[in-house]
Amino acid sequence: MYTPLPFAPFAPAFRVALPFGLVVGVHLPPGPDPVAHPILARLHPDERAYARTLGGFRQVQFVGGRLALGDLLGELGMRRAAILPNVHGAPELAPGFVASISHKQNLAVALVARGTGVGVGVDIEDTDRHRPGVAARVLRAEELAFVERLPTDRQWVDTAVRFSVKESVYKALHPFLLRYIGFGEVAVWPEPDGNDRIEPFLRPLEGPFRFEARHIWLGSRVLSMVRVRPATAP
C-alpha cells in the first residue's frame, strides 16, 4: 500500500494516493528541541513566524505537519501560501482544498484533497501497546459488546481501529457542526478490506451526512481517513 522511506528528521516517511486524497507522512525528531533554522526556512514566512511562537513538541509537530501539507499542495498545483490554524486549530486552506493533520510521536501525517462542501479527517494510532480503559471510554455499548466477543488478542487492535476512525470522523464533521463531538455520537464498524462503515448518532436536525471511511496499516500503526458530505450534496 505504501513505500516506507529512510528516516531523517523532517524528511518524507511515506506517500500514498487514495480515493479520499493524497496522504504523506513526515518523520519527526524524537525530542522537543527547537527546530533548526534550515528546516524552518522551508516554511512560508508566515508559518515560520508562527512556528517561532511555539515551543517543544508543539513546534516540532507544527513544522512537520506544514512540511507535509506544503509537499502535497504542490503536487495538486496549488500556489504555496501560508497554512495557519483557524480558530478551531484546523489548517486553513484556500477555497477548493480541504486538509487534515495528525501527529504521533515520531510522525506527522497530512491528508489533502480538492473539494468544496466536503470535510476530511486523518488520524494515526499505535496498536503495539495495549491501553487499558480506552474501550470503555470511546466505544458505544453495542461496539463494546462486539469487541468483547472477539478473541482476546484481537480486542485491542479492533478498539484502536475504531478509536482512530472516530478521531477522523470528528475532524471531518467539525467544519459542519462547529462543536465538540463525543465518542458516543458515532459507531464504527471496521471491515476486513479497510472500507469501514460509520453509523451516526448525532443531535436532531444535524445532517444527514454521507460518510466514507477507510483504514490502512503502516506497520503496527493504523492510519484512518474519513470523508464527509451532506447527504443532499451531489
Q: Measure the CA–CA gap between 209 and 233, rounded to whole angstroms.
A: 9
* Per-residue pLDDT tens over the stretch 120-130: 999 999 999 89
Query: What pairs with residue 198 in β-bridges?
Result: 188
List of the chain residues with pLDDT < 50 = 1
- 3 state DSSP class of 198: strand
Based on the number of CB atoms within 10 Å of its own CB, is 137 exposed (0-12), middle (13-18) or buried (19 or more)? exposed
What's the longest Cα–Cα distance across the chain?
53
* Per-residue pLDDT tens over the stretch 92-147: 888 889 999 999 889 999 999 988 899 999 999 999 989 889 999 999 999 999 99
| pLDDT score of 5 | 62
CB 127 within 8 A of CB 159: no
| pLDDT score of 136 | 95
Can you tell me which residue has the cell 445532517?
Answer: 207
- Chain centroid to Cα 117, Å, comes to 18
Please, how many CA atoms are within 13 Å of residue 160, restricted to the half-sphere of its CB? 20
The domains of the chain, with CATH numbers, are: 12-115 (3.90.470.20), 122-230 (3.90.470.20)
| pLDDT score of 234 | 67
Q: Measure the CA–CA gap between 132 and 129, rounded to whole angstroms.
A: 10
